Structure 1
Amino acid sequence: MEELDRGGRKENARTVKIYFVYSYHLMNFRGARPVTPVKQP
């Protein structure tokens, strides 16, 4: 029971980490995309 709970918790933390990294990169990409063309000209 303890092992199963530990494994589930580990998987959940990994999913949360991936979600945060993906969200951060998506926000960064969205933020950098409009700024780059504005700065270049």
Structure 2
Amino acid sequence: MTYLETTAEFYAEVAQTPEVGLCCVQSSPLQLPELKIPLQ
């Protein structure tokens, strides 16, 4: 299995069963210069 195949499989599994705390940004939307992250 190649790196790309392994990465695709890993992210596909994570997308199906997300874990609490997996995302590094759980607070209000992060604001960086020139970057706007919309509210959901």
Which TM class, normalised by the smaller chain length?
A: 0.3 to 0.5
Between Structure 1 and Structure 2, the one with more strand by share is: 2
TM (normalized to structure 2)?
0.42
- Higher RCO (Cα < 8 Å, 6 or more apart): 2
TM (normalized to structure 1)?
0.41
Larger Rg belongs to:
1
